[in-house]
Structure 1
Amino acid sequence: MANIKSSKKRILVNRTKAERNKAIKSKVKTSIKKVDAAIAASDKAAAATALVEAISTIDKATTKGVYHKNTSSRKISRLAKAVNAIQ
């Protein structure tokens, strides 16, 4: 355990930020799973609505600094490509 006051504060702040980032990443993963489930069921309408929500969640994570913009762009692109491939 740190002895210096600023070090103790950094530990607490880092823990708080890590928990926040973990929660945001969990939301993103859940929204992606919903899209994947709709794709597996071949339900284009449900997949499209889930995709819109997933894009929103991923964009919010990007603006909060959890994901790099290229990472979020790649995730969105792959999801959209999979939804568009549904017959």
Structure 2
Amino acid sequence: MRNHQEKIPVQINQRFIRLPQVQLMVGFCKTMIYAKIKEGIFPRQIKLGRISGWVESEVQDWINQQIEERDVTPYKASRRQSRD
């Protein structure tokens, strides 16, 4: 846990986004987003009083990570193959 004297690096232009924006960014439904949070593989939301928000840069970083993983993982052909 951070004490009050430790500084958290601040990025310019950081902002909170709400669930509908997160859904648009990642293309997942609400249930899938919360399931991935529970699994520890998606950025957690921050409680902002009675509402919750996500740090936009963390969601974008997650998207970029998915792209990087796709690019370094060899393509696996589908089990379903065409029949001649």
Fold similarity call, TM over 0.5: no
More helix by share: 1
TM-score (structure 2 length as normaliser): 0.29
TM-score (structure 1 length as normaliser): 0.28
